[in-house]
Structure 1
Amino acid sequence: MWSWCTKDTPLPIGNELLKNISNSAEIERNCVSINIDMGNPKSTIIANIFCNTDETTDPTPPNLACELIAKKPNDKMIVNSTCRSTSCGINHQCKKNDAVKKLADKGVDILNIRYGSGIHLSACSRYFLFSYESTTYDDAREKCCALGMKLLSVKSAAKRYCLATLTKSYMEKTGDNDISDVFWTSGTDLDCKGNYRWCSVDRAFVKSEVRWANIKPIVKSERCVTIQMSDMETNTALQTADCSAIKRFVCEVRQSGTTVQSIQDECIDLIGLSKDEVDGLDITKNYTYSMKCFLKCVADNLGMIIFGNMKGGNTLRLMEKYDKENYDFIKNTQTINLCNTKLVPNSDVCQSTYEMFLCGISRQRQFFNKIMSPNNKSNYNDNEPTLMPEIPRACYNRMNVRCGRNVFYQLILILYAFLTHLLNKNRYKDV
């Protein structure tokens, strides 16, 4: 399978771009090049080439194209700027079969965990399992993985509000406080101290979206993050703990459905849209503030917007998947670049996301309508495997490869730039 090997996760390349790919076993051309003709966007193609230029007789090897995610100031995230990597690394990997085997070797009955050792609840288009048993952080992560679920991530204030509402509803219906306790979440800085991430989905902590019980995390030996569940949103807060401590845990999984539809349903519940607001999502001029925040929730969960920037790679893949008949690489890239300017830094995030979607509708109505409204289900072709940025997979031979800067190569480039500057300077002086 041909895949885009991104930093987050490899994703299959759509068939529309594979027209010029040769799958002959006799030709080991396992890397992809792209030929872009700015004058004729329709002629943009990709083709497979040798990964090692020593193996080719092509007199003109392809140029190198790099991309970089535009970063916001670090004060928006809870990060350590000295960390070599910003990803969760091994803590992001969940292999169900391996996890089941590990637990079986320990004599753990998976069916007992699923059906006899916890409280199963549903809210915000998610299924939650609140464990009765207490265990370590690593063991909790393995058990959730073995169940086909993930350790809880509380990426947003809306998710925290959902959990508080769920706790309150449970306490009112049952009369007990079984889920008003401290539970493990997927939050940790184990890969680099001070660099907190939700490792079930490999996302950084955003300061404006999290609430700490102690104002800020304790950065000592307490490297894993718990949540105090409460029927009050203000008391539903995070705190750090020693990863070997024995605590209860929460597993979660998104309810079944197509990618976009299930995320839309989840965000409707998270934001609390009324039926009238849901019915009115097709009419952009009548959007309430809650409806605009619904758009932010959808864009965040689809990976279209990360830390206030429209992520081009994820958005292009969504366009390729949900609007194949109108897919145009050049036009789509131009749309992303233009609409990204609507996401104004330090502005109201719900309002700026709404402006971004309005920009998208003015240029590619069919795609953005599908993303914005659950009422627009025409031409859905979502029966293929879900392409979610949250699903960890690995490209061949890249499991443990880190992207690091080559200092020697950087020095060579700086020296080259300096000599070029001197040469140009002397040339103009002679003139």
Structure 2
Amino acid sequence: MLSTPNKQFSIEVTSDSTTVAPPLLSTTTKKLFIPPWKVPETKAPMVFPTCPPSCNKEMSRFNLDGSLKDLGSYGFWVEMCGKLFLFGRRFVNWEQNVEECCKIGMTPIDLELATDVKCINSLIGDDDYRNRFSRYYWTFGLRKTEEVVSSYYWCSSGANITRNWGSGGEPNYVKNASENCVRMEFGRATNMLYLLDSNCGLVSGLSCQGPIIPKTCDSPVCPVYTCRKRDALFKTLADKATKVLIDPSKSGIWVTNDTRLFMISYPSDTKTFVESLAACCAVGLKLLSLHQEVMYSILVGAFNNASIRGEKFWTAATDQGCKKNFGFCSTNRLVRDNARWASEQPDLSTSNGTCLAVSSDGLLHDELCNTKMRYVCEGRAQIPSLLDAVERECAAEFKLTRSEVKALFNSTPDELREKCFLKCYGEGTGLFIDGNLAMDSIFAAFQRITFDDTKRLLDMYSAMDYCTNSSKGMDECDKCGSLLNCGQENSPEEFEEFVETVQLTITESPLILPPVKGVCPEYECIKKPDQVKLLATAKNFTRFIGQAVVLPFVLQLTVVCNKKFYVFATNVERTLSRNLAFCCDRGYRMATIDTKEKYDCMVQNRITTFLNLPPGTTFAVGATRLGKLDRPSWCYSDTEFDFNLAEDFVSNDTLETNYGIAISFEPPLIMKAYETSLHVVCEK
């Protein structure tokens, strides 16, 4: 028996309970699966549950050595604060969360210790984890009594819950008298968790904690090293945030194409594996990762462009701590079965593990990790859209034209090259990891899309669950193509919104070399449920006032020119970075006006008329001249900026802080540079 220190809650090992497979619905209906964790109609969630005195650990879920079978299927696991935490990819109510944790020898999470809160908060702000977290998870907290005013306590210890409450610092006991269970909300804007008193029947993410359990080795243990930019190598642009390399040639040989850049160390610059990881971080890049098949041909092209022959260079892969299970430490991806090995490689066998180098012909070799050799760092070039970059790379690899790619996204793939393109695209955008769906990130994206709409959340996950289990294929390309096609066919609206969410939230920060055109500043996109719902009520050619708590605004929606334009007139000055986030938080992008025809269409259809603002009022658009005043660029398009769109007051503005661009849509038609702007045009 495993018990907590005060023995108020215990886990007992008993025989397995019987599991009934969920029934399939008719394949002609849109909703394909009843989620297997859905509570049967005969067992409604308790309004006022109690802390269970004991629960059942199912031994059939464990191997003889005590390790949990199929560990990765539950969600993602984190060892910290001397405990093992599970953040699952199932939606459960409070009682189900307790039951599921018990079955794997764990308990729901309690946050009595301030150190545990600190540990979880550190994960919320960690780039490797933040996009894998869902919005809500259950805890082991309950209301003590059914009295209207009653304290809450942790089932594991009986201690009162007095800290970390959201919305004013403590539950609103009178208003929320039926909200008897406690769940966590992970605040993406603050990188902090908050406790909420909630209805016990709501569904939230499964989460558990427990002792560290044995686990089978399936990935390497990456070395500990300091990953930090060397500030002395960079200068900061006028937005006081964007950094660019001062003199790239001092660091290495640079090779760029339309979508990627590589820094290859000079022949005199050789380092060990760990030293190479840190050296790439110093210039804002990552040590080379070849987890995508398309990268091999791109890398060989880079070596050819640099006239490099017959040498080997460190990649980010090692099998330290897990012999023969290689993984790339810079991207947390495994070396796949389709990796391109040199003849008779890998051939070394050492107790400390080996690290992988790549030769100039694009083949992998295992080497002793303390060997000094040259290395390759990689990053994204300055590009308007990561998705566009991935699309270009994959189309080139599988010889598809842009028109064929466009048609492919609206049809069923037939040819092998089309299916392999979809696999490549899915891996490049993060939809697939190591040949499988990136379930944690997708699970979290569903919650960001649906907010707290339980029914829609379950519908989306049911469709994905069905497609994941029903999509088969002769190889990975065939399976990936089948899976994406299943999503389009069986849940088209949800699939489209999911793809849009991926487009708005996926980021891979480019390294900024001395800019040749305006640089778009980085921003974080965090969808705001109240604002998204508000915009959803707007109709074509309408004007209304949104009474947001902090940000009153006047909004006009116009559906013209094959776009939805949301034009906001506000009372808050915003920089370009904040304007980019403002549109993205509402599910849109700042407007791109990359053709004269589009601008004329927007003017002719009077997209700002009903705001009743003075003639010539300008609105911020998605263009920038940060770092390059004489060559503005569009943040979401490669098209050259046209100074003849309207009367030009941009060219003669020499203030570096005025790096945003605003345009009017009512005469007089002008465009000007700005540091901050009150008004903005978003589009979709």
| TM-score with structure 1 setting the length | 0.60
- CA 1:113/1:5 → structure 2, altered by over 3 Å: closer, same or farther? same
- CA 1:318/1:269 → structure 2, altered by over 3 Å: closer, same or farther? farther
Within the candidate set 219, 240, 253, 1:86 is matched to 219
In the alignment, the residues of structure 2 paired with residue 351 and residue 343 of structure 1 have an alpha-carbon distance, to the nearest angstrom, of 9
Partner of 1:240, secondary structure, is strand
In the alignment, structure 1 residue 158 sits paired with structure 2 residue 286: no
In the alignment, structure 1 residue 121 sits paired with structure 2 residue 255: yes
Q: Which of these two proteins has the greater Rg computed from alpha carbons? A: 2
- CA 1:83/1:90 → structure 2, altered by over 3 Å: closer, same or farther? farther
Within the candidate set 371, 374, 383, 1:248 is matched to 374
Mapping for residues 344-363 of structure 1, pairs under 5 Å: 344=472, 347-363=474-490
Equivalent position amino acid for 2:462 in 1: Q
Shift of 1:304: 2.9
After superposing on structure 2, the runs of 4+ consecutive aligned residues of structure 1 that deviate more than 6 Å are 1-8, 13-16, 55-58, 110-113, 322-327, 376-379
Partner of 1:10: 129
Equivalent position amino acid for 2:379 in 1: V
Deviation per CA, 1:237-270: give whole Å up to 9, x if none: 1111122222111000123445544433443344
Equivalent position amino acid for 1:158 in 2: V
In the alignment, the residues of structure 2 paired with residue 152 and residue 250 of structure 1 have an alpha-carbon distance, to the nearest angstrom, of 6
- Check conservation: 1:224, 1:241, Cα contact below 8 A: yes
In the alignment, the residues of structure 1 paired with residue 458 and residue 496 of structure 2 have an alpha-carbon distance, to the nearest angstrom, of 20
Shift of 1:368: 3.6
In the alignment, structure 1 residue 185 sits paired with structure 2 residue 348: no
Partner of 2:469: 341
In the alignment, structure 1 residue 305 sits paired with structure 2 residue 432: yes
Q: Structure 2: where are the runs of 5+ without partners? A: 1-119, 138-160, 167-178, 186-194, 209-213, 233-243, 507-521, 527-684
In the alignment, the residues of structure 2 paired with residue 96 and residue 290 of structure 1 have an alpha-carbon distance, to the nearest angstrom, of 40
In the alignment, the residues of structure 2 paired with residue 379 and residue 273 of structure 1 have an alpha-carbon distance, to the nearest angstrom, of 21
Mapping for residues 13-52 of structure 1, pairs under 5 Å: 27-29=163-165, 47-48=183-184
In the alignment, the residues of structure 1 paired with residue 391 and residue 449 of structure 2 have an alpha-carbon distance, to the nearest angstrom, of 15
In the alignment, the residues of structure 2 paired with residue 4 and residue 264 of structure 1 have an alpha-carbon distance, to the nearest angstrom, of 31
In the alignment, structure 1 residue 199 sits paired with structure 2 residue 333: no
Partner of 2:349: 219
In the alignment, the residues of structure 1 paired with residue 505 and residue 367 of structure 2 have an alpha-carbon distance, to the nearest angstrom, of 44
- Check conservation: 1:126, 1:266, Cα contact below 8 A: no
- CA 1:94/1:378 → structure 2, altered by over 3 Å: closer, same or farther? closer
Deviation per CA, 1:386-418: give whole Å up to 9, x if none: 89xxxxxxxxxxxxxxxxxxxxxxxxxxxxxxx
Partner of 2:271: 135
- Check conservation: 1:3, 1:11, Cα contact below 8 A: no
Shift of 1:14: 8.6
Partner of 1:359, secondary structure, is helix
Partner of 1:243, secondary structure, is coil
- Check conservation: 1:120, 1:130, Cα contact below 8 A: yes
Equivalent position amino acid for 2:320 in 1: L
- CA 1:240/1:94 → structure 2, altered by over 3 Å: closer, same or farther? same
- Structure with larger RCO (C-alpha < 8 A, sep 6+): 1
- Check conservation: 2:354, 2:367, Cα contact below 8 A: yes
- Check conservation: 2:135, 2:444, Cα contact below 8 A: no
Shift of 1:181: 2.1
Shift of 1:273: 2.7
In the alignment, structure 1 residue 329 sits paired with structure 2 residue 439: no
Equivalent position amino acid for 2:255 in 1: L
Shift of 1:369: 4.4
Deviation per CA, 1:253-306: give whole Å up to 9, x if none: 123445544433443344443233233233313654322212111222344333
- Check conservation: 2:446, 2:457, Cα contact below 8 A: no
In the alignment, the residues of structure 1 paired with residue 252 and residue 392 of structure 2 have an alpha-carbon distance, to the nearest angstrom, of 25
Partner of 1:9, secondary structure, is coil
In the alignment, structure 1 residue 144 sits paired with structure 2 residue 280: yes
Partner of 1:385: 524
Equivalent position amino acid for 2:263 in 1: L
Shift of 1:200: 0.7
Q: Structure 1: where are the runs of 5+ without partners? A: 19-24, 31-42, 50-54, 68-80, 102-109, 172-176, 231-235, 388-431
Shift of 1:13: 8.3
Q: Share of identical aligned residues, percent? A: 19
Mapping for residues 45-124 of structure 1, pairs under 5 Å: 47-48=183-184, 65=206, 84=217, 86=219, 88-91=221-224, 95-97=227-229, 114-123=248-257
Partner of 2:130, secondary structure, is strand
- CA 1:63/1:259 → structure 2, altered by over 3 Å: closer, same or farther? closer
In the alignment, structure 1 residue 314 sits paired with structure 2 residue 434: no
Equivalent position amino acid for 1:249 in 2: Y
Equivalent position amino acid for 1:121 in 2: V
Shift of 1:318: 3.5
- Check conservation: 1:305, 1:311, Cα contact below 8 A: yes
- CA 1:324/1:365 → structure 2, altered by over 3 Å: closer, same or farther? farther
- Check conservation: 2:252, 2:265, Cα contact below 8 A: yes
In the alignment, the residues of structure 1 paired with residue 292 and residue 371 of structure 2 have an alpha-carbon distance, to the nearest angstrom, of 25
Equivalent position amino acid for 1:285 in 2: T
Partner of 2:372, secondary structure, is coil
Equivalent position amino acid for 1:211 in 2: W
Partner of 2:408: 281
In the alignment, the residues of structure 1 paired with residue 425 and residue 450 of structure 2 have an alpha-carbon distance, to the nearest angstrom, of 17
Shift of 1:207: 1.8
- Check conservation: 1:303, 1:315, Cα contact below 8 A: no
Q: How many residues align?
A: 323
Q: Which is richer in strand?
A: 2
Equivalent position amino acid for 1:278 in 2: V
- CA 1:298/1:56 → structure 2, altered by over 3 Å: closer, same or farther? closer
Partner of 1:211, secondary structure, is coil
**How well do the aligned residues superpose, as a CA RMSD in angstroms?**
4.7
Equivalent position amino acid for 1:239 in 2: H
Q: Which is richer in helix?
A: 1
Shift of 1:138: 1.6
Equivalent position amino acid for 1:254 in 2: R
- CA 1:335/1:166 → structure 2, altered by over 3 Å: closer, same or farther? same
